[in-house]
Amino acid sequence: MKPLDQKIWRKVLLSPAATIQQAISNLDESGLQIVLVVNAEGLLQGSVTDGDVRRGLLRGLSLNSPVDQIMSVNPLVVPPEMGRDMVLHLMHANKIHQIPVVDTSRCVTGLHLWDEVLDTSERTNTMVIMAGGLGKRLLPLTEDCPKPMLSVGGKPILELIIERAKADGFVNFVLSVHYLGHMIEEYFGDGQRWGVNISYLHEDSPLGTAGAISLLSPRPTLPFLVTNGDVLSDIRYGEMLDFHLRHGALATMAVRLHEWQNPFGVIRTDGIRITGFDEKPVYRTHVNAGIYVLDPMVLDELVVGAQCDMPTLFERVQQKGEGTIAYPMHEPWLDVGRPDDLQLARNKYPV
C-alpha cells in the first residue's frame, strides 16, 4: 500500500457530467480500478468501480447514461494525516484496494492504493477453451484449418485467448478439440512455449459447450472458466472469477448488452383506442457472451459423453434451486463466427 503520486491519482478524476462510457475508458486507461467523481471545486461527489458499472448495465442503463446514476455517493475516505497501518487495516476490513484521501471540506488530495492490486498473482483455477467446432460459416477458410487456429494479428485466435488469460494469472488450460484437433495439439503441445500447462479433451463427436466439460478428468476441485474458442475480448478473466466467488454462485455467465432500435414509430393501443406513441424505440437485452465460470458441482448435472449446450446446463442448475448469475460485460467483445467478424478482428489486431 502506498499513497500515489499526484500525477497518477489526478488521472482518475471525472466530472459529474461524464457518461458511463467515459468512466469505463478512465478505468481502462488508468488501470487503478476506481474513478473519483469530483465537481469543479475538486470536491468528491462519489466513486465508481468496475462493479458499479456492471450493476448499472444490469439495471438497463446505457453507456451514454450519466455517471452519477452508478456512482457510490458515500465511498470510504480517509484524512491526509491517517497513518499507513490504519489505512491498510481499513482496506483489509472493507475488502477494498483503493481509498480516496480528502480534507475536511471533502476536497480530494490523494489516493491510497494497495500494492497487491497491481500484481497479477498466479491462479491455479483451470480454464477450458472450446476449440472443437466445425466453423461451417467460415468456409472455405476452415476447410483445412480449425476455426480457433485462423490467424488474427499474426497469431491464431486461440493463442490470443491463452495470452490474454495468462496476463490475468491463469496457467492451467484444457483445450477441447474435435475437428482438425491434431493441428491444435501440434501447435500448442503442452504449453511450455507460453509458460503454461495445456492438456486436451477429445470429442469423438461434437458435444456442445457444456457436454465437452463432462469429459474433464480429473474433475476440477476449484471453480473453473469455460470460454468459446472463437470469442475475442478484453475481458479480465480474473475479475470475472472473483465476481463469481464474491456472489457465491454455482454458475456465472458473461452477458453483453444488445441494443436494437425499431425503425418504425410504435403505437400503443388498448383495443382500438390509441394510448400512446413511441418513436423508434430502443430495446435492450442481455445476450450470452460465451464465457462462463462454473463450480465443479455443476458437473453432476451432466452425463459423461452426452451432448449438452451451456444454456441447458444453466437451466438444470436453476431447476435445482442453485444460484446462476450474470456477469455484465462492457469490454470490447467479438464472436469470430462469420467472414465479416473475422475481418473486424483482423482490423482490431493488425499484424
Do 242 and 318 belong together in one domain?
Answer: yes
Cβ contacts of residue 182 below 8 Å, gap of 6+?
none
Could you say which of 118, 134, 151 is where a domain stops? 118
What CA–CA distances, in Å, run from 264 to 61, 230, 277?
22, 34, 11
Catalytic annotation, pick one of 2, 136, 280, 348: 280
Displacement of CA 270 from its chain's centroid (Å): 42
Which band of pLDDT confidence, cut at 50, 70 and 90, is reported for residue 326? very high
Using the 3D structure, point to which of 118, 153, 169 is the last residue of a domain: 118
If asked whether residues 19 and 67 sit together in one domain, one would say yes
Cα separation, 35 vs 284, in Å, equals 26
What average pLDDT is seen over the chain?
87
* Segments forming the whole domain that contains residue 270: 123-348
Strands (E), the chain: 2-3, 13-14, 35-38, 44-48, 98-102, 108-113, 123-130, 151-152, 155-156, 170-177, 197-202, 224-228, 231-233, 251-261, 265-270, 273-279, 282-294, 324-329, 333-335
Task: Report percent pLDDT > 90 for the chain.
Answer: 40
What is the percentage of the chain residues whose pLDDT exceeds 70? 96
Residue 221: predicted pLDDT = 93
CATH of residue 28's domain is: 3.10.580.10
Q: Please indicate whether residue 280 is annotated as part of the active site.
A: yes
**C-beta of residue 339 within 8 angstroms of C-beta of residue 138:** yes
What amino acid is encoded at 207 in this protein? L
The backbone torsions φ and ψ at residue 253, rounded to the nearest 5 degrees and listed phi first, read -120, 125
Q: Do 281 and 239 belong to one domain?
A: yes
Phi and psi of 145, rounded to 5°?
-150, 125
- The total domain count for the chain is 2
| Region class of 26: left (phi > 0), else alpha (psi between -120 and 50), else beta | alpha
Cα–Cα distance, 282 to 248 (Å, whole number): 33
Q: Is the pLDDT of residue 341 over 50?
A: yes
pLDDT, one tens digit per residue, over 259-295 is: 778 888 888 888 888 888 888 888 778 889 999 999 9
Q: Which of 335, 338, 310 is nearest to 324 (CA)?
A: 310
